[in-house]
Each structure stands twice: as structure tokens, then as C-alpha cells.
Amino acid sequence: MKILWLDLNSSYAHSSLALPALQAQLIGRADIEWDIVSATINENPGMASAEVFRRKPDIVAATCWLFNHEMLLHTLGRIKALLPDCCITLGGPEFLGDNERFLRNYPFVNCVFRGEGEEVFARWLEIWNKPEAWHTITGLCYLDTVSTYHDNGRAQVMHFDRLVPPEESPFFNWSKPFVQLETTRGCFNTCAFCVSGGEKPVRTLPIETIRRRISLIQEHYIRNIRVLDRTFNYNTRHARALLDLFREFPDIRFHLEVHPALLSEELKEILAAMPKGQLHLEAGIQSLHQEVLTVSRRAGDLADALSGLEFLCALPNLETHADLIAGLPLYHLKEIFDDVRTLASYRAGEIQLESLKLLPGTEMRRRSPELSISYSPFPPYEVLKTNEITPDELQTTRMLSRLIDGFYNAKPWQEITRRLIVEESEFLHRFLEHLTRIGVIDQPMSLERRGILLYKFCQENYPAYETAVTLAWIEAGMSLKKEPAYRVRTKHVLPPEHWEVLNGTYHEELRLCLLPPAENEDITYWFGFEPESQQTKPVFKARTL
């Protein structure tokens, strides 16, 4: 039996855990030959299908998800035409709902798995060529020879701790700069928009098992681990044990999802004492309005969530990102703008504004008529309108997301953008309107181009911030010959008798420049650059009054 895994990702920077997770449960099976063809969604489907044809597999398996869905089906349709006797089976989050329409629309797919596949896939391989026995496989959905639909429910691994870890599979990809580590399965929360919202019970790996797996990852020189707990702090004892464990690996950076409403005082103390830079937290916020969270069935008190988020964002030793979801029922456009300002005032490390997707198998998708949500029938199933937000307003949130990513989430421009958002109530509206009017909001823009746009906009509309943008420009190492630095003097600059050092250490070999005060200002800034270095960023900064 030859199984070929079609590994279709959005880019080569990403790698799916599905293949090693499944194959690890079948290590030692001499009757199975494994093969893999990797491609990205940007490549011609003919290339991948031709390569699969050359390998002549008995079974073609793949994971289907939002962003590979369309290209995967194009490729699989070609494969079935080339290899009509091969069996095509799929799994993944696209199949957590009703799968009958999918199987009827794409008859070249023989069957799909709903749920957790590590155990049931191994059982299916015993009878893969005996469709009359497929009714015995939990989670399998298929059409029989007379086109009757069979739905075998949802598969769930109850003994998660007994699975062979995917890192033990020869197909585990160690070439990426980060790996994913699943330390729990399931989620305590009940979010109506999430595929894990009804996934109970929560199953947790023993700390010693996690320690062995992190040690193996460390041995492969991986320095970034994305921990796949849906909410790592759902249980204080579990979270404390994880954080204590992470301290044993100071050279590894851990990325975690956290619910800020569930931070106990004990956890706050531990987080505040963690080594600087070791943790990167993703805080699930979604909305800062209780009625939105209530209808979305997200557990946790909003006041506690805001207090927890403010605490996390104030910690100097870690970075916390926060997310908002446009298109949630009862969520208005004005509230989204207000929430962005609030998160900016907290100094969130990044703000992610996404559009709601009504994913298969979620409660919100099932209740979409009741909630008056219109959504696209095609992946990624984004919401098109609700009673509270129009299609035009959702396009505004999409463009606002572009603005946030390009300016607030860009480190060189973050602080000045944050100040403008917080201190000037109309800045987001006016700057978004400006970027849209000049036709750049949907264009890819270099860091330099973004800085010039922000500078010119402030020069014309918020002149009090012009110097702040220039300072950000200089400190980012941008060209001193470009417009944001036009006031900078670079020739025959000598140090003053006295100055206030802001950072760095002055020495006589430094190449100095100065930024004189603008009209109605009284501060001169001084910058020092290493003359022999290729580094364009200043290493010294001072000021005089």
C-alpha cells in the first residue's frame, strides 16, 4: 500500500502537523510506503498533479483548510483524472460541519474525516479498499456505491497522552524557524465562532511528556515554539507548571494564547517574573463590548478581560498582541474604531483586526439565519453583512486592518502611530480616508514609503507631530536625504558643551547630526552614528533645550 500526502500550504514558510501526527501512529508498519509531494497555493496545480501521477500512489491524502481549499480541489481533480483507481481522502477543519454537499459536488474525493484523525485513520487503512466496511470508522463521511450519504459522527482522541508525538515521525519538518507543539486538545470555552468551541473535554499532556518533547525540539536548534493550547491559562495549575517548565529552556521563545480575563494573581506574579523576551502572548479579546461577547458565547467577564489585558500590555518583559473580529453580531463600525483606540492606549504589542469567518461546524454558522448574518458560501466564508454592519462598513474595517498592520504593527512607526490614535480622536478616520483617496491602502508599501506617507500627512494635518515622525524616521535608520529628515544637519556638527543623553554612549569617533527645533519648539536633538559601520541606525541620542 502506497500513501502519498499532498502537502499544500500557503507558503513554504508553513508546515502542517497533520502528516507527522498521522504517520507517527503507524511507525513500524512495513506494509505501508509513505511519500509526499509539497507545493504552495501559488503554484500551478498541473505541476503537483503531474508529480503525484509519477509516484503512482494507492491513496492520496491531504488536509483541507480555508486558504488551500480551492487550489487543493483543482489539484485533486486532476489527480483523479490521471489516476482513476486511487483513493482520495481528506481531513481538516473544512469538514467539521455537514459534508454531504461537498462529497456530491466533488465526487473525485472518496471520503473525508471529521474530527481528530490519529486513531481512526490507522483503523481506516485496514479497510481502505473495502468501502462496504467503512461504516465502522468513527468520523468518516462518504457516499456509497448507490450514492447514499453516510455520516459516522465526529472522531475524538480520548487518550491524547497515549499518542506517539509527531516529532518522532520522519516526516516532521525540522527545517522551519519555528515548530508547533500541541500540549492540550480541546477548549474550555464555548465561543460560537470557533471550531474548538464545543470541543470537550480538555485533554492535557503530562509535564514530563512536554519536557521531553521540548528537549527534542531544542536538540534540533529550533528557538521558537508555538504552543497550541487554545487557552494556556484556562487552568492556573496547568499554566503555572507550563511557565515553570519554559524557564528551563531560556534559549527558546514560546508563543501562547491567553485569556486575559482568567489571569489569577498568582499567574500575574509569575508572568511578571518571566525572563525578558521569552514569551509572546496572543490575547483573545474579539470585542470590548459585553453584548457582543455574550451573543458570541465567549466566557469571561469583560471588566476582568480589560484589566488583565492592561496588565499584560504593561509588562516590560513580554509582548502581548490583541485581536478584534469585525462582523460579530451586535458589533458596530464605530465600536470597532473605539476598540482600536482602547487597545492602542494599552500599548498592545500588535493589534490584529480580522473579519469574522463562519467556519464549518461552528455554532455561529448554524445560527447565522437567526443572527441575521450573511456570509460568503466559498472559503474563507467571510461575513458580508449583519444587522449592525453593512458591506461597505466591512470593507472599511478591512482597510482599517491594512492601516493598522502597515503603521501600528510596524515597529518603527508604532509609537508615533499610537500617539496619534490615542491623542487625536479623528486620526484613524482621516488617515484611512487619505490613504484610500490616494489609492495606496491596498498596495504593498515599503517601510520607507509608509514613513513618508505618515510624515506628509502629519505635516499637512497634524503639524504638532511632524518632529515626532522625523525622530522615528531617524531612529529607524532611514535615509537622511529623504523628506522626513529635511531639517537634519549632517555637516560640521560638533557636540554642545552640555546635553541630556537619552540613550547610548558618546565618543569622539561618532558621526554627529542634529535636528533643530521646528517653529514653536525649543528642543534640539543630537544623533551619533558609527562611521565605520554598515548600520544606518544611530547608536547615540541626546537633546538640548
Residue 198 has pLDDT above 70, yes or no: no
pTM of the model: 0.92
Q: What does CATH list as the number for 177-401?
A: 3.80.30.20
Beta-carbon contacts of residue 490 (< 8 Å; ≥ 6 apart)? 480, 513
- Write out pLDDT tens, residues 238-285: 999 999 999 999 999 999 999 999 999 999 999 999 999 999 999 989
Identify the band that residue 186 occupies on the pLDDT scale cut at 50, 70 and 90.
confident
Confidence at residue 545, expressed as pLDDT on a 0 to 100 scale: 86
The string of pLDDT tens digits covering residues 445-500 is 999 999 999 999 999 999 999 999 999 999 999 999 999 999 999 999 999 999 99
Contacts of 540 (CB under 8 A, 6+ apart): 501, 503, 504, 505, 506, 510, 526, 527, 528
**Which pLDDT value is given to residue 234?**
84
Give per-residue pLDDT as tens, 396-429: 999 999 999 999 999 999 999 999 999 999 999 9
Number of helices (H), then strands (E), in the chain: 17, 21
Compute the mean pLDDT over every residue in the chain, rounded to the nearest whole number.
94
The pLDDT score that the predictor gives to residue 177 is 87
Contact 356, 382 (CB under 8 A): yes
Per-residue pLDDT, 13: 61
pLDDT tops 70 at residue 14: no
pLDDT in tens, 163-172: 999 999 999 9
193: helix, strand or coil:
coil
For residue 48, how far is the Cα from the chain centroid?
27
Provide the pLDDT for residue 197. 64
Pick from 522, 453, 529: nearest CA to 484: 453
pLDDT above 90 covers a percentage of the chain that reads 88
What are the two backbone dihedrals, phi and then psi, of residue 258, each rounded to the nearest 5 degrees?
-130, 145
Residue 27 pLDDT exceeds 70: yes
Q: For 97-105, what is the mean pLDDT?
A: 97
Percent of the chain scoring above 70 in pLDDT? 99
pLDDT band at residue 299 under the 50/70/90 scheme: confident
- What CATH number labels 2-151? 3.40.50.280
